[in-house]
A and B are shown apart, each in its own frame.
Chain A
């Protein structure tokens, strides 16, 4: 595990320092909707969403949902699928939000809720954080159930 993490870390460092700037052109302003990077990221969220649904389908097709561990995994995938939809909408709203009004300084900063889109950004940002916790918790609980009942497969 340590070896794998160090490999990934090394790869990140190599990319950061050796990647030519032209090669990163597709990611310039990727957080602004309409660029290649934004489309790629949004498509990745859709793929992630489809993969989760697909896996749920697989579990049901193999009749594995009768085991507690797999039931937890199914709920984890459901939440991750919702999270992806939320992220898809949230990113779109965030990246197309033109010049949001931020008032105050430091931790006292406040955002002016002057449009529906601003509300959408604010709410999806909350969902984005909230949905991940139960999803990962269920993933953990599912794996734990499978470890304790190895015959569940």
Chain B
């Protein structure tokens, strides 16, 4: 029969225990350094906790094995109780390590979600900022244009008077009168100024940098293409009823897409799986009509009234600026947005955009029956209220 010495086992056991103890101690110090570097890092905290438990493990493990050998091979049965207790601590440490790791898993998930939310929020705020800048530039151009038109109008009135009187003077002055040449010069210069004002006015009316001839149908279709996967994912049916003829007008394609995408997202969020979102474009006299209708949960009247109020939101994490921008975008197109909602039945948003800037629809006349009057302060959250 083969017999093997126990001494090598003991030597290996204690040597290993001492090395492990030293390494555990060094690891603990390193983990503390990591925590000092970044006290809010969940991973470093986890590693620190793990290093602490490893340190305890290395101590209890060494004592436990030492006692085990004393009892079994060196015949010290009196130490049995102490060995059981230390061995029990070993068990507790193993369970603690498992608990820390599984707990860390949850913390890590929360941390990742927080990071993702933070990133999303940052991205959204950048988008809002960019949109805001574009809106500011647009408003500035429009204001300048209006000022220029106002100035032209202001110049033209006295100019007509000057031109008119100079012509009357010319008619009443004899051919050989030396002042006739002066009246002629006044009349000619007045006409020249008038021509300049006309040219200036034409230029001011153009506003080509932000608006271009666009077809609303094309804008709507391209936006719907972007949102279709999202709607399919939520099992929502999209019904698109596009006007058979092109709805060409002077539109800012980018801004209208932003507005439409926001309204569509609101509709998708409000609609339960299996519901329907209808998008319809039509021609209505001199206006291009865009209707977005959902079969979502709808909004109570008090919410509808505040929909365009800045910073008003019913959503957790909403900024309360989305619908404000939508309203502003429609305003910049000299359009009108109206909103009708019934609890449990859904919401209908109607936008009327004139083909020409000067044709702003009359707000009161254009309201659908039962819709609220245009609120004093327009707009709803970027995320919008729950419908």
Residue numbers of A with Cβ under 8 A of B are: 1, 4, 8, 12, 15-16, 19, 24, 27-28, 30-31, 37, 40-41, 44-45, 47-48, 50-52, 54-55, 58, 62, 102-103, 107-114, 122, 125-126, 128-130, 132-133, 136-137, 139-140, 143-144, 146-147, 150, 153
Contacts and interface: CB of A to CB of B under 8 A. Distances in A.
Interface in B6-57: 6-7, 9, 12-13, 15-17, 19-20, 23-24, 26-28, 30-34, 37-38, 41, 43-44, 47, 51-52, 54, 56
Is chain B's binding surface mostly helix, strand, loop or mixed?
Answer: helix
Contact of B34 (A55, A109, A110, A147): A147
A109 B82 CA distance: 24
A128 B108 CA distance: 31
Interface residues of B, number: 60
B91 to A, nearest CB: 4
Interface stretch (B97-105, B159-167, B194-202, B296-304): B97-105
B192 to A, nearest CB: 70
B5 A113 contact: no
B34 A143 contact: yes
Interface of B: 1-7, 9, 12-13, 15-17, 19-20, 23-24, 26-28, 30-34, 37-38, 41, 43-44, 47, 51-52, 54, 56, 58, 68, 73, 81-85, 87-92, 94-95, 97-98, 100-102, 104-105, 108, 112
A129 B83 CA distance: 19
Nearest to A57: B105
B116 to A, nearest CB: 13
A126 B98 contact: no
9 closest A-B pairs by beta carbon, nearest first, are A44-B94, A129-B16, A51-B101, A51-B98, A47-B98, A143-B30, A136-B23, A27-B84, A110-B3
Contacts of A47: 94-95, 98
Contact of B41 (A111, A129, A153): A153
Contact of A107 (B7, B16, B24, B90): B7
